[in-house]
Amino acid sequence: MTDLEVGRLSARLRDATREEHERTESALFVVALMAGELDRGAYAALLGQSYLFYSVLEEAGERWRGDAVVGPFVSDALLRREALEADLAWLLGDGWRNEVAPLPATSRYIDRLRQVCFSSRSGFVAHHYTRYLGDLSGGQIVRSKLRTIYGLTGDGVRFYIFDRIAKPKVFKDSYRALIDTTSWAVGEQSNLLAEANEAFRLNRGVFDDLGKALGVGWTGSCDK
């Protein structure tokens, strides 16, 4: 963190979540998927679980859309649900909804979203930040990998394509500036940091459950 960044909430948020972020990226399922060790079915399974929690997060976004404090974070350019629906239909066929059921970790994730994202401004932004800025950053690396490994260039990876954001870096910089300039109530900054870490843990739990379901690095010995 540079001297100029000291005190900026967005920089503190990035720094405070670095460890959980790295742990999430190192999940065995993610490593195997990015190494080309899994088939398209595993990728479709990931999208299916993503569809379930993005649906709830975007429902929460509608709740806050007109809010004077955090409404500016809600942007149609970020919405992913329709893209996920298109990807799942292309990968699994018209009956894809019958194949998507929440894993235990996904259910916990959804429960947490419903618990905090509809009543807490900082809780909502914590989960919004973790998902969407991740999609605009590491998600683009994932998209490149999927193109190389699975030959997916448009159909199947629309989740990672942000047609309405011409310059992702400019958008991300504006988003971080918004975090810094929002008039947070007492205690909300601390809650934002804590809940963002919880969001990464919940996301890692989904990866771990996907790995177990697909037998990725899973011996069945015990849960950690």
At 207-224, the pLDDT tens digits run 999 999 999 865 444 443
Rounded distance between C-alpha atoms, residue 67 and residue 125, angstroms: 12
Average pLDDT for 39-63: 97
Among candidate residues 135, 191, 222, the one with its CA nearest the CA of residue 9: 191
- Catalogue all structural domains in the chain, each as residue range(s) with its CATH number: 9-214 (1.20.910.10)
Instruction: Name the least confident of 120-124, 151-155, 177-181, 218-222.
Output: 218-222
Instruction: Give the pLDDT score at 218.
Output: 55
Instruction: Note the pTM of the prediction, 2 decimals.
Output: 0.92
Q: What is the pLDDT of residues 156-190, one digit of tens each?
A: 999 999 999 999 999 999 999 999 999 999 999 99
pLDDT of 46 strictly over 80: yes
pLDDT digits (tens, 9 = 90+) for 15-42: 999 999 999 999 999 999 999 999 999 9
**CA–CA distance, 189 with 140 (Å, rounded to integer):** 28
pLDDT average, residue stretch 130-159: 90
**Average of per-residue pLDDT across 61-89:** 98
Residue 9's contacts (CB-CB under 8 Å, 6 or more residues apart) are 179, 180, 184, 189, 192
pLDDT (0 to 100) of residue 220:
47
Residue of 188, 208, 206 lying closest to 196 (CA atoms): 188
The C-alpha atoms of residue 34 and residue 216 are separated, in whole angstroms, by 13
- Determine the Cα–Cα distance for residues 131 and 58; give it in Å rounded to an integer: 11
Q: What value does the mean pLDDT take over residues 104-130?
A: 98
As a whole number, mean pLDDT of residues 85-103 equals 97
